[in-house]
Structure 1
């Protein structure tokens, strides 16, 4: 398999990056008044403007050649067709099959998995309707009013992000709550105001061996049984979502209370499966289907749009350009929409767990920078917190600005103020302000020369800071599904471009294994495990101090 750095397009991009670093986006806009038309893509539900990146026609031509030489389109087709592209785990990658609204056959190991997905969706629909109608009763005969999802990582972040984003669509018939942290404070805070008689718990774990989730599940079961005085109450208040139904059965769940997911679905891409049960319970099954339809719409775009108009591919190419060739080490997700306040956290897991790798498909050490670290938060709040760093730090941080033309809560005067900031920030990050402009402005304000000489250097903004603008028409179920699917495909394409396996997470597994060993030490008097001196002394201090405090 050809090393990425030996590709002609890669070599061209390395050379081009050195040349373009000396240019400023302001100059590019002056030279190319039609940059927006050249470097934007309009989709059914939103517009993407990537013109405020340090790119030219030559840049994009070389990036598209890189996509061709790394066979992005062939890998895309292989993913959709069910080939085992997750090489380290010998698995297919088929989260797209979960939202295959065309219901076309997808064959894996001789079976049409579309039929399996449709069967599980039907089970979800029956269950959701039963709960929402009040036909599913708790141990005392009362209908369910609250759902508590117990999961962590992909079994939590996706559903919770969607639930928060669509809150305005809830009829409040069912209220969903999320517990992910094994710190007892979170589950105690969630359960304290609830009545056990009308609470349904969803234990979401792909492997059904996640320590954090099962610890929370045991606490929730004790809480329920202590109120019901009946162990059998668990059957009326607990369901499971897992790819290991036999483990859930061993844990005491009946087959009727277990919803299935599959090993060909990565946890961080699983909200489209029964992992999305909390979404369907809060908003109704039809809204969950709308979410799938929006994602399927993006899947079709990704499969059929030409390379030069393919939104996920373009965003992936721009990301690789900024991180691998221009050396930007982090990337900010900045929604100007309160409903998307969890999007940065969701995408942080999706991208960093997928592509935070340092070896190629062949297990060889990667010699080039790979993906940036993902962080961010609500744009308006960020302006009064970390935007100082974005504007004037020596580190360049590319950013995605995400806003909506129409607000989901149209209060007079609010949305225009919000969006004025939205547009102003990308312009300011791109243009900046030089010392000559600063001095002229201070002089016009009547400042004396000494004051100007002292202050001017502090007010200079170099600009030339890359941003993508994603402008939604309105945030609804279809749009959210399409937006999330676009980012999923962007992550996949980045992995192909960089020759990274995006669908394993061995770094997560290492910490889990060590935690299991240390957990035994924390609960036993004698310790037989060997650690480095720091870890050994920390464990000793913890146990000794805990004993003194008890």
Structure 2
């Protein structure tokens, strides 16, 4: 049935953005929505504006039919019920339970784990483990990107502990962290679901060696483990009282809300981390309880599918007009491309169209002087998301933030309107789409809601494409070959063999 809906979608007219606004005086009311974070009159919120995309009533009607044909409601219900939605691995995907929304038993377990984490965080802040000024957090993928993003967004001013997130196996990354830390006041957090990830465990061993070399008497006494494999952590040398577990049903790129968020809580303090969880929970409830176009992540997925499937767009740009959100494009790259970069459907049959676009982006206004040339005048059609906040995160003159936001809003207007010129080199075609997410402020709650919105957007896209967003087998083959190289005895193609010989490996 979904194939028939896609054929109908492909047959629809594609009016320009200007035509869409001219035809519908209520377009802004339809496609721009304020999401409230609380009922208090002083509560903050987020404006989601998808009016400058090419969605119209005809497309929305068919995309809602597509959601019905792909059983969006059923798959969403299964997600929140803690049922097996990761069919290839036979697992649930219970990241929402970490925020208090999901299967009752899973929510209770998450609350218990959070209580344990809060106790350790607050004990460290009180000085129970001595003077702790620095934390080196080693992880990779979701175990590093999420914490790094949250800390950069929320803990730039007055962090309770100076946190350094290290993911790269390149020793330069770890040495940079060492240079900023005093070993006498440094703790180590090891984030690994299996506690076997080679990059993470190698980095952890090096941190232990650095502490020992700098006269720390009990390096292992400075370690906190964040893992779904507590027995492995104990075997490695971590004291059982300093292991923060999380459920096997929480995937790496969705794990920020679990004990993987320990470094965020260390930097912010537990009350702010709890507010972060609450903001995400508010978005969870909206996504769970709202249908059709009114469902904000689903609305975004309708536009995403329009551009990938109906307009052939291979990429999507994300530009944060807020320095605090500089890492958001990197975070979304993993979330979206690892989740939806698939070539088979849930039933194992081939996908009959493109899946996830390549997510990329940067920070405004820097990006305007770099990649925006292509966005405005290049031959590639690139849908763009602009993300900004009304309240600045600094105390400098108001001109800074006024100019920043003026540029953000001007880019969306310029992409849509374009400008004709008799000189082809100075002509802008216009009719180029963008969406804008405008936060009142970058607070723990609004930031939590923003990240959860993108998680659910990713899931909604997966449902419309009939794929499984929760496995990631594509990352495994390269890792397997790297292990073969380490072990030796395996022959590879002539190019690889020559590279290994030049590098003195094998």
Per the shorter chain, which TM-score range? over 0.9
Local SS of the residue matching 2:440: strand
Local SS of the residue matching 1:182: coil
Residue 225 of structure 1, CA deviation: 1.2
Residue 56 of structure 1, CA deviation: 1.8
Kept after mapping to 2: 8 A contact 1:324/1:371: no
How does 1:52-201 map onto structure 2 within 5 Å? 52-100=52-100, 106-107=103-104, 112-137=105-130, 143-168=131-156, 170-201=157-188
1:12 correspondence with 2:12: no
Q: Which of 480, 491, 495 is matched with 2:462 structurally?
A: 495
Structure 2 Cα separation of the partners of residues 204 and 377 of structure 1 = 27
1:524 corresponds to:
none
Q: What runs of 5+ residues in structure 1 fail to find an aligned partner?
A: 138-142, 440-455, 522-527
Moved over 3 A (4+): none
Structure 1 Cα separation of the partners of residues 374 and 26 of structure 2 = 30
Residues paired across the two proteins, number: 497
1:379 correspondence with 2:364: yes
1:525 corresponds to:
none
1:355 correspondence with 2:340: yes
Residue 410 of structure 1, CA deviation: 4.5
Structure 2 Cα separation of the partners of residues 256 and 167 of structure 1 = 27
How does 1:451-466 map onto structure 2 within 5 Å? 456-466=423-433
Structure 2 Cα separation of the partners of residues 375 and 96 of structure 1 = 26
1:273 correspondence with 2:265: no
Structure 2 Cα separation of the partners of residues 387 and 410 of structure 1 = 29
Q: TM-score, normalised to structure 1's length?
A: 0.88
Kept after mapping to 2: 8 A contact 1:167/1:339: no
1:242 correspondence with 2:207: no
Local SS of the residue matching 2:484: helix
Structure 1 Cα separation of the partners of residues 302 and 447 of structure 2 = 22
Structure 2 Cα separation of the partners of residues 498 and 182 of structure 1 = 35
Residue 202 of structure 1, CA deviation: 0.2
RMSD: 1.5
How does 1:516-531 map onto structure 2 within 5 Å? 516-521=483-488, 528-531=489-492
1:257 corresponds to:
242
How does 1:28-47 map onto structure 2 within 5 Å? 28-44=20-36, 45-47=45-47
Structure 1 Cα separation of the partners of residues 31 and 367 of structure 2 = 26
How does 1:319-398 map onto structure 2 within 5 Å? 319-398=304-383
1:536 corresponds to:
497
Structure 1 Cα separation of the partners of residues 110 and 159 of structure 2 = 28
Residue 173 of structure 1, CA deviation: 3.1
Structure 2 Cα separation of the partners of residues 309 and 485 of structure 1 = 16
Structure 1 Cα separation of the partners of residues 26 and 180 of structure 2 = 57
Local SS of the residue matching 1:200: strand
1:433 correspondence with 2:419: yes
Structure with the greater alpha carbon radius of gyration: 1
Residue 247 of structure 1, CA deviation: 1.2
Residue 186 of structure 1, CA deviation: 0.8
What is the CA deviation profile of residues 220-239 of structure 1, one whole-angstrom value per residue up to 9, with x for unaligned ones? 01111112264xx1232111
Q: What runs of 5+ residues in structure 2 fail to find an aligned partner?
A: 37-44
1:445 corresponds to:
none
